[in-house]
Each structure stands twice: as C-alpha cells, then as structure tokens.
Homo-oligomer: A and B are copies of this chain.
C-alpha cells in the first residue's frame, strides 16, 4: 500500500498536523521542517489520498462532463477546450456518455447529486424534452453549465452559438446557389438548438420567393437508417435540390446516399451542413459547412463553470454566452459543376 500521512509523521517524529501543514506550505511551519517533510515525502513518493481529503473538505476537485456521444468532431474539440482549462485549474474530468438516451441522462443526473463532482458540464440528449431530472439536479446547487445542446428553461449558464442566424444563413446560401426546394435534416424536434436552426430555415424559406414548401426530415440515431431515409427522400416524386443538414453525421449520410444513387452533389443536389469535420475540404465534392467554434465553446464553458464553483455566494455570472459560427462555402454548394481543381481551404 501507498504511504500515508501518519507514516510520514511517525518517520519524521512529527505530528500529522505538522506534516499536513508543511506539505501545504503553511506559513506557520518553519522552513527547516518543511524541507525535511518534503524531502521524505518525495523520497517515499507520498501521494495524499484524494478521497480522504475530499471527504474532509467537501471538495472533490473533479467535474463531470455529460455528453450524448463522443465520436463526433464537435464534442471531441470541445473536450480539448474543457480539458485544457481543467488541467490548468488542477481539476479532474469524469466523462459520461448518454448515447442520446434520456434514461441514461436521468440516471447520471441522479448519481451526480451524490457530491462526486464540484460541477457539471452538460450537453443534453436529443430526447430530452421532460427536464424534471435537470431541474432537480440544478436545485441541489451543484454548479451546472450547459453547452451547445442547452436546456433553456434552467436558469444557469449556457454556452451556445448563433443557431437561428446560422440556420437562416445556411438556407439563404442554398437559395443563392440556385436551389428551389430545400430540405432540412434534423435528429431531434425538441432540442432548443434544433428548433432555432429550424426556425432560421423556415424564416428563410418563407422570405425567399420561389420557396413554397418546407421539407423537414427527422432522422434517427442510426447512420444506416439515415442513409435509407435520405435515399427515399431523393427518390421522392419531387425531390429536393438542396439539403441543409443540421448535424454533421447527416451530411455524411447524404454523401453515402448520393453515391449510391449516382446523384452528383453540387450539380443535382447542393448540400450544406453544420460540421467540424477536418476533411470537409477534401470530400468529393468538398463540403460547405457552418462550423461552430467547438474548442472555444468548451473552453468558455469550463471557464464559466470554474467561475461559478469559485464564486462567493452573492456574486453573479454571465448566463447566456453566444459564440459565432462561420459559414464556409465550398463545392457542394457551388453554382458550377465541380471541376478537377483541388480544394485548398483548410
């Protein structure tokens, strides 16, 4: 077993209190003693038991990250930002995946009331419409920050992007590329960000002449199923000539469906998608994207969370942080047929 305070103290002929204080560099301990203590601690590889200390201090120096999935470039980049901040603050990160399953989100939320963590960063599942579990979690007083997939009605900090505007702009972009009939692909009807993106789409559709009908397609969690759904969509009597994918993976499914049906993207069908895909410029054809500042969002979310954790009781903090996404037009929405020249934009 690892060495503990008591053993250190015994070896040094000191009390545990003195050793503890020495290791915390307390000013009420002589330099002399500190040196001796540190030397032995170093020599024996002493590591304080974090559970004993957490129990005593009611502080775990740990945060929870609750996200729907991990094989997703957005979350992956966000984690980089989160971990960056957590590491500099000396915090540990527990990761929980809900796999878009509301029941898992509920179970995790319930568990987190135990005090295992000092704060929680969360992006809710696509199924989360009933939010009793989140309200209950919020009420425990554990600092809670939502990012991207936020829960609007909980009065805590939220980091999101200009989703309405992005939805509007993406649709407008397709319109300007010559589309007459644009489909909107989503995975959820309840998510607040989904609704905002959709509203942007709807408003653009009603604003630009020639757009008479909305085509809203709600997909599933299965990529295979989604490819089939999109195939059917494209084999419709009156198929769309533009697709706005509100989620990266739906754009990938579109590409697969089009390849299967020999539909030439950009020529017969234009596609734009929310995406953080590093290979977007390299696809055939390169994919036009709305890219969220994922890393910055994760970073900001973590920063705000630590602000709240370290807050004095009556301090206040920023509740609604909106970062901006960037639209990058590429060949998938080009007005001319894609030529053979290479894609250079990163």
Interface on A for B, CB 8 Å cutoff? 2, 45, 47-52, 54-55, 60, 62, 65, 70-73, 76-77, 79-80, 83, 87, 92-97, 104, 110-111, 113-116, 136, 140, 252, 255-256, 258-260, 262, 277-279, 281-286, 341-344, 346
Contact = CB atoms under 8 A, between A and B. Distances in A.
A263 to B, nearest CB: 9
A283 B52 CA distance: 53
A295 to B, nearest CB: 9
Q: Which 8 A-B pairs have the closest CB atoms?
A: A259-B342, A284-B284, A47-B114, A51-B54, A51-B55, A71-B76, A51-B51, A95-B95
Chain A contact residues: helix, strand, loop or mixed = mixed
Contacts of A71: 73, 76-77, 80, 278
A252 B97 contact: no
How many subunits of this chain does the assembly comprise? 2
Contacts of A341: 262
Contacts of A47: 110-111, 113-115
Contact of A79 (B70, B83, B111, B342): B70
Contacts of A2: 113-115, 140
A251 to B, nearest CB: 10
A55 B49 contact: yes
A115 B284 contact: no
Nearest to A64: B92
A116 B54 CA distance: 11
A52 B97 CA distance: 25
A260 B344 contact: yes
Nearest to A90: B111
Contact of A279 (B48, B111, B279): B279
A115 B51 contact: yes
Contacts of A284: 282-286, 343
A98 B284 CA distance: 34
Contact of A259 (B51, B111, B282, B285): B282
A115 B342 contact: no
B60 A256 contact: no
A116 to B, nearest CB: 5
A62 B93 CA distance: 12
